Amino acid sequence: MKYKRILLKLSGEALMGDRQYGIDPKRLAEYADEIKEIHDKGVEIAIVIGGGNIFRGVAGASNGMDRVQGDYMGMLATVINGMALQGALEDKGMLTRLQTALKIEAIAEPYIKRRAVRHLEKGRIVIFGAGTGNPYFTTDTAAVLRGIEVHADVILKGTRVDGVYDADPEKNPNAVKFESITFDDVLKKGLNVMDTTAFTLSQENELPIVVFDMNKKGNLLKICEGENIGTVVKI
């Protein structure tokens, strides 16, 4: 396998499937199957999942809610998604641990870097919930931060788009996809891969990012086997 340890970043919206909000059990089971494929090949897997299918702090703030309060509500949404994913993975026979940046000890371990690394070494899948534990930071930033901390080889950002384009492919049918691109070129072209904080953190620590379509069956395994799926952002 090309990567021994990965940090998989999933959006909360991805869990909605065809629904307007919430969690689609069918989509959850599909993701669990995809993750099991690489787990069975010996890949060590850490996961960060967003909470946009339940609540977004930014959206709350735009409607008059206090931004800090909204962001903490968003963190709790990521914990709900983490618990749902944990259940789906364990239904497929995988061992998991949910660690959260906020202490919710009845349902999850507090985030401890050394413990997380030890779980990964033992073949357990570690899901990181509650973002960084701080308002104003996105789950993209949490994904990069945790990826650096647990010494992941790569950030795999699973989206509904199959890579990075020079324009929005859902709006512009003539948009051109990049097979690979450097961090500097992403910044020069003003492309949207991750939010600026997350992207800069990844660049400074030389942690590559692969943006790919998580909804296409087999893509996750192909990336871990070294196939050119999606777009690789590298130094």
Q: Which residues are annotated as a binding site for ATP?
A: 9-12, 52, 56, 159, 165, 168
Q: Which residues are annotated as a binding site for UMP?
A: 51, 71, 132-139
C-alpha 93/C-alpha 182 separation (Å) is 38
C-alpha 60/C-alpha 25 separation (Å) is 26
List, in sequence order, every residue forming a beta bridge with 178; answer none if it has no partner: 164
196, containing H or E segment: helix 196-204
Q: Which residues are annotated as a binding site?
A: 9-12, 51-52, 56, 71, 132-139, 159, 165, 168
215, 14 Cβ separation under 8 angstroms: yes
C-alpha 70/C-alpha 67 separation (Å) is 5
What is each CA distance from 143 to 24, 66, 109, in whole angstroms? Answer: 23, 24, 17
Closest CA to 231 of 169, 168, 156: 156
